[in-house]
Structure 1
Amino acid sequence: MTRAHEEVGDSPVGKYEEPSTPDAAADRVEEALKLIEGRWKLVILFQLFGGRVVRFSEFERAIPGISQKMLAQQLRQLERDGLVNRVVYPEVPPRVEYRLTAWGQSLCPALDGLLRWAATREALTDGASGS
């Protein structure tokens, strides 16, 4: 099974209050999922997990089928939402690198949990068809 990360240190500490109702919990999860929805965002995030630093051209090579415009748009959204940090070096030509913020890196365990959860469905489905 693919893993999003090997080991993530302490996650950023923030104020967390337990949602008071199922509707409030559903709203919070929906807000969180909106941050990573889209065809390419998860692919981009998985390229950055593990503390990797990736240049724009490396993304283009690593993600076949994504246009430059879409890659730039998705990276800008991830940066705006606080998941990705963009560093521009004052060189000619300019060098631009992307890495996850601490908060972005803290997403790794949640995605690993989703991978495990999806694998249990496969196991249950395989087990049900063998009966």
Structure 2
Amino acid sequence: MEVEHWLPAHEISVVTAISVREVMSAFDAVRRTESATLTFWRHHEDEMPNYEQGLDLIIGVSRGCYMATAADGDGDWLELIGDPCATGEVELVVGGQSAGHPRRQLVTEEDAMAVAVEFTTTGELNFASRQWVHC
């Protein structure tokens, strides 16, 4: 298991065999930034991550808002839904660019942290336990 987090200056920090404590530390680091991405992936030690084939989790953070996107291992991507009744968009910085993001796809820091901990401790995501929808 690895986690990669991008800081504003696109510094990349990679940690292998991540622990719950390291997940919390990564969230502490990105909490103080304008925009950051936490990327978690599973792959064998001798190969590079392949977003088309494994299970991946991406947590986006912008202006205090959190988003979670995951690959299900079959090539499909899903978004975690925070409030299914929310409408409209909120302007966030994603990938260094300002863009509108659907309000219903914003989740709490606690929910984002919970799926990150679930993924790093089990190597899986239980898509039935939370409200995930296909992108």
Same fold per superposition (TM over 0.5): no
What TM-score does the superposition give when structure 1 sets the normalisation length?
0.25
Which protein has greater RCO, CA pairs closer than 8 Å, 6+ apart? Answer: 1
Q: Which has the larger radius of gyration?
A: 1
Larger % of strand: which? 2
Tell me the TM-score normalized by structure 2.
0.25
User: Per residue, is there more helix in 1 or in 2?
Assistant: 1
